[in-house]
Structure 1
């Protein structure tokens, strides 16, 4: 009887573990920002559509979170996100609309300065959603999965693999607020 009870307890624990909802950190993307004040510098090589779309995402997509944002008018080493465009993407990113990466690490999981690069060779139809998506990477979000990546749920997110929405889901906002 003792072995059956032990087996039943272990089986119940396994079922609960598998059925439990994923935590907000499930979409974690590293390295993420090292603080909740996110300053941006927009390079002058951006088109007006690129700049206004990413700036819109900065002001509106992050607004309902604990993150604060600002814009620096000159580039310096204290800028958290340097936004620029390129006509010469690396070979592995030629088909990407944009990408975000860490250019100054604090440690393995935190980044002091990110770059957000827009590929001029692959124009996007909505720079608000693209900006939301790439800014999401700079604050620790990975590509959405499950209900966050659904086209039909009202809780969909700009963190989809192909961003088509201008806001973060509740799941994403909870992750941002939990991290900062």
Structure 2
């Protein structure tokens, strides 16, 4: 696999409301745990929609992996429309722009401001077309959320075209947190 789409929940869908939440550390570890073996096997590009949540934590993870072990790994952020961060609070804008500085590619499917759901659909179609597989953080037991539709599309592509589907669930992230908590008692 050369190109991988990484996405999942938006921050608010996980009831995470600031960047200091400890759960983010475990989500990033789970992402790194899946990306590292793929990078060892020749993964070249990680593409993400760049939305606030799993997408941007994946970006941070890729940037860290590039610096630490996989300098050949490239990060691409493909948004649905121009300047999605414009209406965010200043601290979120700064966080986003710092990530963009380290991205190897940044582009918007539509160079216009937000106009409608068609922009998200066009972005998703492009991301699926340009990638060989997906790493998706989604857990149906947590209730329906935005990644549900991405999962459905990915599974359809997996059946029809051999698109690779790699999942991260809430149980995996929780077990990482539990292991760390238990090891702190030793």
TM-score (norm 2): 0.23
Bigger radius of gyration, 1 or 2? 1
Higher helix share: 2
TM-score (norm 1): 0.24
